[in-house]
Structure 1
Amino acid sequence: MKARVHVMLKDGVLDPQGEAVRHALGTLGFAGVQGVRQGKVIELDLVGSDKAAAEAEVRAMCEKLLANTVIEKYSVEIV
């Protein structure tokens, strides 16, 4: 079973990488982009077949290591 974790900066937290991408897109002629938020996707290969247990375990991983919950939000998808 696989888990996919999406990690993004919380609303209100400055995103200098996203701003750099937005600026670069404008420079390349893509003028219609008002804002960019950059995040990360983490894919995990998990052993087991219990989706609920897997999701709970991945959420614990996020809280302890995969996301900085002070400034980042995350979502977990079991696929």
Structure 2
Amino acid sequence: MGWFVYLIECRGGSIYTGIAIDVAARYAAHAAGKGARYTRARPPQRLLAVFAMADKSAALREELRIKRLAPAAKRALAATATLPAELAGG
């Protein structure tokens, strides 16, 4: 089972970065107000990007790297990603 790093655009234009095995289920949890504290306070508007990782360790490292980026760099990174069809509806 693979791990993924995902970026969510939240209300107000901020970007949340997280990791999950099942991105669709995790996004649904965020949207239902049962995700991270950050997304409970700033509800998700849409899924920006999903990146497949080799394992949990790689996902955690990539999450940390992305979190350190400036918002403009996060948006540029998201522009390079193609969302899987089942997640594109966000």
Instruction: Please give the TM-score of this superposition, normalised by the length of structure 2.
Output: 0.33
Looking at CA atoms only, which structure, 1 or 2, has the larger radius of gyration? 1
**Which structure ranks higher in relative contact order (CA pairs < 8 Å, sequence separation ≥ 6)?**
1
